[in-house]
Structure 1
């Protein structure tokens, strides 16, 4: 299982637009991806409700995990997305 950590860069955290963009990117990967905050459970990263429930604000470190063909590349791309201020675009 591939695993990466990312620091949320969007000024509003994983809410509204940044969460929507991230969920769309996860769903395009066609492999299961989970996301968790430190000490929290692994949640479905392809679910907008799961992301909103994380309460991840700017600067929060999250852990992404994925399994399957292309998992490493998928997580690298998703980390890059989370570490971009999506509110500024």
Structure 2
């Protein structure tokens, strides 16, 4: 399942973009929905809020790796995107 997860996510974006008049804006909306869904899953996986920053930082690091790969794949641009999260603030 995990090895094909990216295929399903990419298919979701491709489908959404093909059905709309403004594919870029549609993709951005899907991206925001996906981000909220990831946030919900992070909350689901932690036992307490103290664990959120570490898991969130690891997820953000993976986003950077995906951006690096995507820039190469879609634009032919080489490089490495390093994203660092410095702070997560909780309020109740």
Does the pair score TM above 0.5? no
Tell which structure's C-alpha radius of gyration is larger. Answer: 2
Task: Determine which structure has greater relative contact order: mean sequence separation of CA pairs < 8 Å that are 6+ residues apart, divided by chain length.
Answer: 1
Normalized per residue, which structure has more strand? 1
Q: State the TM-score, normalizing by the size of structure 2.
A: 0.30
TM-score under structure 1 normalisation? 0.30
When you count helix as a share of all residues, which structure comes out higher?
2
